[in-house]
Amino acid sequence: MQNKISVDDFVYMKGINKYFGRVVALDDVYFSIKPCEIVGLVGDNGAGKSTLIKILSGLYPPTKGVIYLDGKKVNFSSPRDAINAGIETTHQDLALVDDLEIHRNIFMGREPNRLLGGFIPHLDKQKMIHEAEKALENIGIQGDNISVEDIVRNLSGGEKQAVAIGRAAYFKAKLVIMDEPTAAMSLKETKKILELMVSLKEAGSAVIFISHNIHHVFSIADRLTVLSRGKKIADLKKSETTEQEVSSIIMNN
């Protein structure tokens, strides 16, 4: 297993432990990802996938363990810290605010301001709308009858994921964490989302793809990390394994 830090790792999580009371959610887990790499994080329910990425996205501190970014030790005390370090996370169903317009969602928490009369802060709505259109254009979903002034509630599940991916791409994230992006999606939408994740990689982002669906993960990942009951049980290059092997590792553990 790749438990040693490598010079070109973007993220290296070393010996991560997480306890919730007496429940051990993660037990000495090592995880790494390189720039422009897609790593599939797979495992059954309760394997610890979500806990691991919540630690990486600044939502929880680890009970024990260290995170290195570009070889430097970091301490995330809030999601803001992780975002500032270039880590964008798209949580399952929790990425967007349904009642806000697309452009307000894209700039949520990072709203551009201009000064009215030199001293009154004012949302730069024109910039928000214009840049949001560019963000959607970049990922190729502009024009499909979607206006950035629509509220998110009216979008399909696939369109919502696309907006979240567009947001990560717009802010030039170094790492995009996608939690179950293809859950409950139609075949067509799944195909589109997988393509968008590959285009994120091509644009220079590393991607962590968490899913129950080995088939989806296998189709685009460079490497697969398998968790089971809080432990890492396998870390395989896609070129050196098969879908069947990964499935049987998960099933038999």
| Residues at the interface with another protein (CB under 8 A) | 57, 59, 78-80, 82-84, 89, 91, 94-100, 104, 107-111, 113, 121-123, 125, 153-154
| Least Cβ distance, residue 29 to another protein (angstroms) | 22
Q: How big is the CA angle at 207 (ends 139 and 152), to the nearest 5 degrees? A: 45
Crossing angle of the two packed helices 125-138 and 157-170, in degrees rounded to 10:
110
| Least Cβ distance, residue 231 to another protein (angstroms) | 26
| Least Cβ distance, residue 168 to another protein (angstroms) | 11
Measured CA distances, 76 to 32, 85, 141 (Å):
17, 9, 33
Pick 111 or 222: Cβ nearer another protein: 111
Pick 122 or 134: Cβ nearer another protein: 122
| Least Cβ distance, residue 201 to another protein (angstroms) | 22
| Least Cβ distance, residue 89 to another protein (angstroms) | 6
Q: What is the DSSP string of the chain?
A: ---S--TT-SEEEEEEEEEETTEEEEEEEEEEE-TT-EEEEE-STTSSHHHHHHHHTTSS--SEEEEEETTEEE--SSHHHHHHTTEEEE-TTTSS-TTSBHHHHHTTTS--EEEETTTEEEE-HHHHHHHHHHHHHHTT-TTSS--TTSBGGGS-HHHHHHHHHHHHHHTT-SEEEEESTTTT--HHHHHHHHHHHHHHHHTT-EEEEE-S-HHHHHHH-SEEEEEETTEEEEEEEGGG--HHHHHHHHHH-
Tokens describing residue 19:
């306890």
Pick 14 or 54: Cβ nearer another protein: 54
| Least Cβ distance, residue 100 to another protein (angstroms) | 6
Pick 74 or 220: Cβ nearer another protein: 74
Pick 75 or 154: Cβ nearer another protein: 154
Decide if 213 contacts 42 (C-beta within 8 A).
Answer: no
| Least Cβ distance, residue 121 to another protein (angstroms) | 6
Pick 130 or 237: Cβ nearer another protein: 130
